[in-house]
Every structure is written in structure tokens, then in C-alpha cells.
Amino acid sequence: MKYLFAIILLGAALCAGAQQTIPRWHIADLKTFLQTTKKPVIVNLWATFCVPCVQEIPYFESTVASYGAKVDLLLLSLDIADFYPKKITAFAQAHGFHSPIAWLDETDADVIAPAIDSTWTGVIPCSVFYNPRTGYRKFYQQQLTPEAFKQAVESLLR
């Protein structure tokens, strides 16, 4: 039931653009989210201490916003437990992040990495581009430039 609530909360934030409480997720929640989403989504794995992560989020958000309701962006924080939720929330507010954020409450890399992508080495930032309508799925385990991100979104929506 808590997973359903977290998914409903995130869905409401995605639809309404409302400020939301950061839900605590496990890998099962991420899998459920991807299985139940109805439109293309980008899941960006990031952390407050990751400089390249923080650098790319603003242009991820502005690019996604330019597509209107065609695509969603979820920021999945990999921060340490001590940062949840206050430091992550404060950090996101200070940096002007407005996309929905969930915190991944997992510490076992042997569980996390293969669930995200079989090729993932654990490096962040990384992003999963998923379109449930077409089955398109692409994984990037590097910081994307604004141009590369826009091209990736175009591929996602084709």
C-alpha cells in the first residue's frame, strides 16, 4: 500500500507540477513506476554531491518543459540516508529544481545496478529513457550535454 501511495503522490506531482514531498522508494517502486507509466519518462539518477548531476538537471528540466505533456522527468536521488528528506529537499529548492524527486532507499549495489541496467557500473549521473508505448529503452551512464539530451529525448519520442 505504501508503494501505491508513493506512486499516486508522484503521479499527482507529475501531472500537476505541484511541490511534493519526496517519497522513499525501493527498487520495486521504481519497477512498478516504469511498468505503470502511460507516457515516455526519463529517470535521472543523481545525488547532491555529484557536480555533473547538478550541472545537467537544469537543462534536463528546461528541455523536458519545452515538450509540454509529452514526456516526464523523474529525479531519483541516490543520496545517503542522512540527507533524506531535509537536505535533498533544501538542495533541490536552493537549485530551483521543480521536477518530481524520489529518494532511492537502497544500499546494495548488487541489487541496484542490475535493476537499473545490466551495463551500469554505478557511475552517476545516469539516465534511463523509457517509452511504454513503443517499448523504447535507452540507458546513458554519463553526463549528457544539452544537445545530446535533446537528441535523446527526440529518439525517445519517435
Mean of per-residue pLDDT scores for the chain = 90
Structure pTM? 0.88
Q: What is the pLDDT of residue 48?
A: 98
Q: pLDDT of 61-119, one tens digit each?
A: 999 999 999 999 999 999 999 999 999 999 999 999 999 999 999 988 888 999 999 99
CATH, domain range 2-157: 3.40.30.10
SS (H, E, C) 49-106: CCHHHHHHHHHHHHHHHHCHHHCEEEEEECCCHHHCCHHHHHHHHHCCCCCCEEEECC
Taking the domains of the chain in order of start, what are their residue ranges? 2-157
